[in-house]
Structure 1
Amino acid sequence: MASKESIYKALEEVMDPEIPVLSVIDLGMITDVQTGDEIVVKMIPTFAACPAISYLQSNIKKVLEEKLKMPVSVLIDKSVNWASSRMTQAGREKLKNYGIAPPPREQQSDPLLTIASQVPCPHCGSRETYLRSPFGATLCRAMHYCKSCGQVFEQFKPLD
């Protein structure tokens, strides 16, 4: 029987297909693991309409079965909604180093105001930025522009 620690360690190798520097652990997508005759992993997507849900389920199953040599079931946990506050501090740093601004820790009452606020540029750290578009390459990102370094960058949208 696999330990919960070994399961979580293996899950650190399951990377998000859209942001390949972040694992499902970094994103806070795993809500529970159970072990016995089979490993049961409960997960939540970062967005309900995320096109990568089935890919992630399949990849979690594949990685755990290969590493731990046990049958695995991966279920969507419908009792919990993902929130950007679930992202680990390590995940936030990885996201910034990848060139995407992490979601802010505190949100304003209007989510659009939160993403429209001066988001620190992940390239130079300047707050001299503005929102170019609330729509980025995926549903979970917005586009910003940095006046200091001239870079366009994405921000992972806050969701709480």
Structure 2
Amino acid sequence: MPDPELPVITLEELGVLRAVHVRGTDSVEVELTPTYTGCPAIEAMSTDIERVLREHGMRKVSVHTVLSPAWSTDDISAEGRRKLREFGIAPPRVRQASGPKEPVAVELGPTRTSRPVAGPPELAPVPDPVCCPHCGSADTELLSRFSSTACKALRRCLACREPFDHFKEL
């Protein structure tokens, strides 16, 4: 089932579909975790799941929102990341290959990204670049921290000059 805001990927590829429990021949329970608390798409996701499962003969369908463990962009599958890139959206960078999730550092700064000026350059942390989904260049800049949804930022490639969405890391 496609994500209502990003129909190029499924709820499973997005990582919000946590579990499906079949209870007999015509009853099913589904667990969803929203991308963030208060995500407006969770209602549309639940409604779509209920409709499709009923169309496939499930008489009793219940969809539950599960908040723990919290969703993270690390939950997006490799296939989902590939589809986002092919659709023209830079996928989120992977924070951790495995192991327990740690808090995400929040940094406030200028609208356009640049190398930190304070301190010696060799000590300044430089995050992995956000690569352009059109040409692959790592030479990109942040235009706006928010794009068409709160989950995305608007960036521009300095090599091919194309603007693109970047699915932000959480």
Scaled by the length of structure 2, the TM-score of the pair is 0.78
Whether the aligned pair in 1 keeps the contact of 2:34 and 2:67 (CA below 8 Å) is no
Q: Could you report, residue by residue, the CA deviation over 1:60-103 in whole angstroms, capped at 9, with x for unpaired residues?
A: 11112212434211000122211011111000000001110000
Task: From 17, 24, 38, give the equivalent of 1:49.
Answer: 38
Q: Which residue of 1 aligns with 2:10?
A: 23
CA separation of 1:44 and 1:151: change in aligned 2, threshold 3 A: same
Aligned partner of 1:148 in structure 2 is 159
Is 1:86 equivalent to 2:97 in the alignment?
A: no
Paired with 2:85 and 2:107, the residues of 1 have a C-alpha distance of 21
Q: CA deviation at 1:133?
A: 1.4
Q: Is the 8 A contact 1:111 1:158 kept in 2?
A: no
| Number of residue pairs matched by the alignment | 145
Deviations 1:98-137 (A, max 9, x none): 1100000137963558xx5531000110111011111111
**2:105 pairs with 110, 128, 131, which one?**
110
Moved more, 64-73 or 36-45: 64-73
Percentage of pairs with the same residue? 38
The Cα RMSD (Å) is: 2.1
How far apart are 1:19 and its partner, in Å? 0.9
Q: 2:23 is matched with which residue?
A: 36
User: Are 1:66 and 2:77 counterparts?
Assistant: no
Alignment TM-score, normalising by the size of structure 1: 0.83
